[in-house]
């Protein structure tokens, strides 16, 4: 039962972090393509640093630094320090990590959209927003989906790292349950199966999504 509760919080964090990652990735990709030179530099530093440092170290750094910085900020503005829930902190930390990878995936997909289509859209008098919404996003989806499905699989597995900062998602609740019952092998095997099921189901969903995003395109052989 504890395992299932752990699974639910794992999925909550994964979904939240994934959503946050997509938002950051979108903004980051737009900034890298259209932004000014300093914006591009900052984004380049962000994606390079995040991708070069182990997730475990990043999670600890962002977790402690993030909660500490937020509380001292609140202190300066005269508010009382708040207790940040593990769920919110976990989502924020993993979301920032995901955002760096998502930036690269989405940037690559946006660049893969033929320029002529975008020029045609603006020739029709569409504003930049309309071009983005009506042409860029639908046209880049088939290119972005394989990378994005990889990122989803990575984030579901990265939630296990939050066990190290003491958030009881699936991995930590398994460890606690296993420690209490001494049936280490059984419990970890069960947890691994749960993760595997999540992966297999997600694979199926993403295959369907990709099929839908590719509708009307010639089949690859």
**Can residue 76 be called a binding residue for another protein (CB under 8 A)?**
no
Q: Are 169 and 9 in contact (CB under 8 A)?
A: yes
**Can residue 13 be called a binding residue for another protein (CB under 8 A)?**
no
Nearer to another protein, 91 or 163 (CB): 163
**Locate tokens 């508010």: which residue?**
79
Selected binder of another protein within 105, 145, 171, 177 (CB under 8 A): 171
**Can residue 78 be called a binding residue for another protein (CB under 8 A)?**
no
CB of 170 to another protein, least distance (A): 8
Residue 129, token pair as written in the block? 């927003």
Instruction: For residues 119 and 190, give the distance between their C-alpha atoms in angstroms, rounded to a whole number.
Output: 53
The full DSSP string for 12-34 is HHHHHHHHHHHHHHHHHHHHHHH
Binding to another protein in span 107-146, by CB under 8 A? none
CB of 74 to another protein, least distance (A): 19
Nearer to another protein, 39 or 199 (CB): 199
CA 155 to chain centre: 6
Window contacting another protein (CB under 8 A); options: 23-31, 34-42, 108-116, 150-158: 150-158
**Can residue 174 be called a binding residue for another protein (CB under 8 A)?**
yes
**Can residue 65 be called a binding residue for another protein (CB under 8 A)?**
yes
Cβ neighbours, 10 Å, residue 158: 22
**Can residue 161 be called a binding residue for another protein (CB under 8 A)?**
yes
Q: How far is CA 45 from CA 41, 42, 60, in A?
A: 6, 5, 20
**Can residue 8 be called a binding residue for another protein (CB under 8 A)?**
no
CB of 190 to another protein, least distance (A): 10
**Can residue 56 be called a binding residue for another protein (CB under 8 A)?**
yes
Taking alpha carbons only, the member of 15, 22, 44 closest to residue 141 is 22
For 44, the enclosing helix (H) or strand (E) is: helix 37-52
Number of residues that bind another protein (CB under 8 A): 38
The burial of 23, by beta-carbon neighbours within 10 Å (0-12 exposed, 13-18 middle, 19 or more buried), is given as middle
Binding to another protein in span 187-216, by CB under 8 A? 187-189, 191-192, 195-196, 199-200
Residue 8, token pair as written in the block? 């639910």
Contact set with another protein (CB under 8 A)? 49, 52-58, 60-61, 64-65, 68, 153, 157-161, 163-164, 171, 174-175, 178, 182, 184-189, 191-192, 195-196, 199-200
């Amino acid at each position: 039962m504890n395992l299932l509760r752990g699974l639910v919080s794992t999925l909550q964090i994964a979904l939240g972090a994934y959503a946050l990652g997509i938002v950051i990735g979108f903004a980051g990709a737009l900034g890298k393509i259209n932004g000014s030179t300093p914006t591009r530099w900052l984004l380049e530093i962000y994606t390079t640093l995040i991708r070069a440092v182990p997730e475990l170290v990043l999670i600890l750094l962002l977790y402690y630094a993030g909660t500490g910085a937020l509380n001292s900020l609140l202190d300066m503005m005269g508010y009382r320090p708040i207790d940040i829930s593990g769920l919110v902190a976990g989502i924020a930390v993993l979301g920032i990590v995901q955002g760096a990878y998502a930036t690269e995936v989405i940037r690559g997909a946006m660049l893969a959209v033929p320029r002529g289509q975008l020029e045609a859209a603006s020739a029709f008098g569409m504003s930049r927003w309309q071009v983005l919404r009506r042409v860029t996003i639908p046209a880049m989806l088939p290119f972005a989906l394989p990378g994005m499905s990889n990122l989803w699989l990575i984030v579901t597995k990265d939630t296990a790292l939050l066990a190290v900062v003491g958030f009881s998602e699936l991995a930590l609740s398994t460890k606690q349950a296993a420690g209490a019952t001494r049936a280490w092998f059984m419990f970890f095997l069960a947890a691994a199966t749960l993760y595997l099921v999540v992966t297999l189901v997600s694979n199926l969903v993403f295959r369907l999504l990709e099929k839908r995003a590719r509708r009307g395109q010639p089949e690859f052989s």
